[in-house]
Amino acid sequence: MTKKFFLFIFFINILFVLACASKEEVEEEVVIENPDDISNEDENPSVVYADIDFSNWKVTLPVDENNNGSPDEYKPNELVNGGYRTLKSVQPFMYDDTSDASIVFYTFPQNSTANSKYSRTELRELIAPSNSRINWTLETGGTLKGKLKIMEISKDNSSSSRTYHNTIVMQIHGIISIADMTKHGFSSNNGPPLIKMRWVDGDLWVYRKSLVNESTSGDDLLDVSNATWSDEKYNMGTVGFDAFEFRITASKGKIELQLNNKTPYIYEDISLAKWPFENYFKAGNYLGTTDAGAFSKLKYYNLSVTH
Q: What is the pLDDT of residue 272?
A: 98
pTM: 0.85
Q: What is the pLDDT of residue 45?
A: 66
- 58 touches 74 (CB < 8 A): yes
Q: What is the pLDDT of residue 179?
A: 96
- 275 touches 23 (CB < 8 A): no
Residue 149 CA to residue 299 CA, distance in Å, equals 6
CB atoms within 10 A of CB 12: 10
Q: What is the pLDDT of residue 160?
A: 82
SS3 content of the chain, % helix, strand, coil (to 5): 20, 40, 40
Q: What pLDDT, in 10s, does the model give residues 146-197? A: 999 999 999 999 878 999 999 999 999 999 999 999 999 999 999 999 999 9
- The H or E element containing residue 291 is none
Mean pLDDT of 261-288: 98
Residue 169 neighbours by CB under 8 Å, 6+ apart: 148, 150, 197, 198, 199, 204, 246, 283, 284, 285, 286, 298
Q: What is the pLDDT of residue 115?
A: 87
Residue 171 CA to residue 227 CA, distance in Å, equals 21
Q: What pLDDT, in 10s, does the model give residues 93-126? A: 999 999 999 999 999 999 999 889 999 999 999 9
Mean pLDDT of 37-54: 69
Q: What pLDDT, in 10s, does the model give residues 183-235? A: 999 999 999 999 999 999 999 999 999 999 999 999 999 999 999 999 999 99
Q: What pLDDT, in 10s, does the model give residues 235-273? A: 999 999 999 999 999 999 999 999 999 999 999 999 999
Q: What is the pLDDT of residue 246?
A: 98
Q: Classify residue 21 as exposed, middle or buried by CB count within 10 Å of its CB (0-12, 13-18, 19+).
A: exposed
Q: What is the pLDDT of residue 46?
A: 85
Mean pLDDT of 20-35: 36
Q: What pLDDT, in 10s, does the model give residues 130-154? A: 999 999 999 999 999 999 999 999 9
Q: What is the pLDDT of residue 36?
A: 36
Residue 229 CA to residue 272 CA, distance in Å, equals 11
Residue 221 neighbours by CB under 8 Å, 6+ apart: 228, 274, 275, 276
